Amino acid sequence: MARVTVRMLPGGETRTVEAERVSDLIRSLGLDDESYVILRDGKPLLPGDRLRDGETIVVVRVLSGG
């Protein structure tokens, strides 16, 4: 299990999450895969990709508001 720092965009709120893969991260944040893009160093990750302990991940809400 990796412990990662998550930065949420837009907004910039940060939190710490424990998850093994990107799909677990999305689930533990209560999000759905269609509305978010997960980035490591600016590059998109797929749901099956493994997370690395101590890294920072950016979670981007791609849906624009009403």
Partner 1 sequence: MAKCSLCGAPAVAEVRYARLRLCREHFLEFVERKVERAVREHHMIRRGEKVVAAISGGKDSATLAGVLARLRERLGFGLVLAHIDLGIGEYSVRSRRASERLADELGLPLLVLSVEELLGDGVPRLAMKARRPACSVCGIVKRYLLNALAIEARADRVATGHNADDIAAYALKAFLTQNLEDLRKQKPATPSIEGLAVSRVKPLYSVYEKESYLYALLRGLPFYHEECPHARLTSLDFHLKEMINKLESRHPGIKLQLVRGLARNADRYPGEDWEPVPCRHCGLISYGGECSFCRLTSRVKGEPLGGKVRGKIRSLIEGSHI
Residue in the block written with tokens 């837009």? 10
Give yes or no for residue 18 binding partner 1 (CB under 8 A): no
Q: Using CA atoms, how far apart are residues 2 and 21, in angstroms rounded to an integer?
A: 8
Q: Using CA atoms, how far apart are residues 12 and 47, in angstroms rounded to an integer?
A: 22
Tell me whether residue 16 or residue 62 sits nearer to partner 1 (CB atom).
62
In angstroms, give the least distance from the CB of 4 to partner 1: 17
Q: Using CA atoms, how far apart are residues 11 and 13, in angstroms rounded to an integer?
A: 6
**How many residues touch partner 1 (CB under 8 A)?**
21
Q: Which residues are near partner 1 by CB under 8 A?
A: 9-10, 32-37, 42-44, 46-49, 60, 62-66
